[in-house]
Amino acid sequence: MSPVIFNLVAAQSGTGKTTILEKLLPELKRRGLRVAAMKGNLDHYDIDLPGKDSYRFSKAGAGIAGFTTPEGFFLYGSEKGKSGSEAAADLLTNFDLIIIEGNKKSRHPKIEVVRSEVNPDPLLPDHTIAVLSDRFDLKLDIPVINIYDIKALADFIINYFIENRHEETLDSEGLTHFDQAGRPKMVDVSGKKETTREAYAKGEILMDPATFTRVMAGSLAKGDVLSVAQVAAVMAVKETGRLIPMAHPLGIAGVEVDFHPKEEESKIEIGVRVKLTGQTGVEMEALTGVSVAALTIYDMCKAVDKNMVIQNIRLIEKKGGRSGHYRREQD
């Protein structure tokens, strides 16, 4: 099994990430874990500068270059199509964790360091799963861990990445909805803690300018199109567990639907935000709500415009759960 990779990040330097790692590594080792640590997203490192032997070996075609000493070793290399951390993980298969210091743009889970005297406000880059801080007044949807409590940090890492890893076991194609025999299954979430979850999805429907005008004026024979679409979105959110085979029936706490007409493009943008406190996320509910709202608009307008196009249905943001906060880079 490949090692778990996560990043320890901060909005700026001077927060003490390296010192935290110096204290964390022996604590994780004491608990029986094999952990690799490395700097992330560097443009260069001293030993790989042009002219250095490792740089020359790499440029000459060596898959991996580096050096060894009686006390240890350093490896420098790359693999086409993979980031440095991903390529390293392929080599470090006997490790449990790879901790990358830095790289806020990484797609891996992140723990953000927030120190009141340096960067008092959390940045919360995508996939942030926890904040490590000396600010105890922070109110976030993800855990806030005392920056001075290394044992608590180690507990969180082991619980999140090691003890619950069976929940994230993937088949060869990275899909969780198939068992080891390749048969479809509903993911068992009974072991997960209930947390606050939220998802926001958007989509759009394009139509003829004349149709757009009639929709906005409420002059279609079937009535107020957007009001009906709003109700349809709420109903669809509540029925997602019945419509999507492997989705869980959920006790939805709240649904918000918004419409943004774009007259110059003759289109209506649809947004659906879903919230609950539960054991699984509501991304599918938000996406289903957008889809059914768009289909309802089509149904109510198809008598006058069969050329309407439903498009660009996508997840914009999710909060809560093991994968942390996700925000799409472009809406």
Which domains does the chain carry?
4-163 (3.40.50.300), 195-327 (3.30.70.640)
Please list, residue by residue across 133-146, b when 16 or more beta carbons sit within 10 angstroms of its beta carbon and e when fewer do. Answer: bbeeeeebebebbe
Contacts of 114 (CB under 8 A, 6+ apart): 10, 11, 15, 120, 121, 122, 131, 132, 133, 134, 135, 138, 147
Q: SS3 of 155, please?
A: helix
pLDDT in tens, 44-91: 555 666 776 666 666 666 556 666 667 767 777 767 777 777 777 777
Report the share of the chain in percent with pLDDT over 90: 49
* Residues 165 and 96 sit within 8 Å (Cβ to Cβ): no
CA–CA distance, 258 with 243 (Å, rounded to integer): 22
CA–CA distance, 158 with 97 (Å, rounded to integer): 10
* Residues 305 and 207 sit within 8 Å (Cβ to Cβ): yes
Give the other-Cβ count within 10 Å of 222's Cβ.
11
Q: Is the dihedral of CA 146, 151, 155, 158 positive or negative?
A: positive
Question: Is 331 among the catalytic positions?
Answer: no
Flag whether pLDDT at 181 surpasses 60. Answer: no
CA–CA distance, 275 with 293 (Å, rounded to integer): 18
Among residues 137, 179, 299, 331, the one annotated as catalytic is 299
pTM for this model (two decimals) = 0.55
